[in-house]
Amino acid sequence: MTAIDEYTGETVKTRGLGRLAGVAVFIAVVATVIAGATIWLLVTDPVTTALAVESGEVTPLVRQLADLLYQALAGLIGYL
């Protein structure tokens, strides 16, 4: 038996799928931003990336990624 919302008339199952789709889109956007930042870091700072891969320690790479994302966000906010 499927429950129907008395205000919107849609089924609860349908509403749950909409929320799931929203979460999936959010995760996809975050993954795309991180992937783009990683590619940008590979192009602009290959030494840090090579050292992180060689040593197996990802802390410098994560620090550079966080700095890159912070600078991009600060630049976008600066336009507002």
**Tens digit of pLDDT for each residue in 31-64?**
998 888 888 888 888 887 788 778 888 788 888 8
Residue 2 lies in a domain: no
Residue 56 lies in a domain: yes
Cα–Cα separations (whole angstroms), residue 4 to 10, 16, 17, 20:
6, 12, 14, 18
The whole-number pLDDT of residue 15 equals 65
Find the domain containing 68 and state its range: 29-79
**DSSP helix/strand/coil, 2:** coil
Answer yes or no: is pLDDT of 2 > 80.
no
pLDDT band at 1 (very low <50, low <70, confident <90, very high): very low
The model carries a pTM of 0.60
Dist. CA 53–CA 42, nearest whole Å:
11
The total of structural domains in the chain comes to 1
Dist. CA 80–CA 37, nearest whole Å:
22
Of 14 and 54, the structure prediction assigns the larger pLDDT to 54
Residue 21 lies in a domain: no
